[in-house]
Amino acid sequence: MWQVQSQVQTTAKDATGNYVSVVRVFFTVGAQGPFSVDIPVSTYTVQAAQAAISAYAASVSAVEGLTGTTAAG
């Protein structure tokens, strides 16, 4: 389960290296975090925020469940 903690408008580099206005949304996943996602102001909607946070939160949950061993060497 994730929950938004706060949000702020700022600037960040996009994939092309240009600076764009974004809304940075901070959230927690259970007791972990905070984490954040940047959503361009031009596409900032409830749906866009929910999709970005849900995708990130799914990765956080998956990584949290990882286990393994180190290779001897």
Cα-based distances in Å from 42 to 7, 55, 64, 66: 16, 20, 33, 36
pLDDT per residue of the chain (73 residues) written in tens, 0 to 9: 999 999 999 999 999 999 999 999 999 999 999 999 999 999 999 999 999 999 999 999 999 889 888 876 5
pTM (2 d.p.):
0.86
Tokens of 16: 């092309």
Q: Any idea how long the chain is?
A: 73
Rounded Cα distance between 26 and 53, Å, is 9
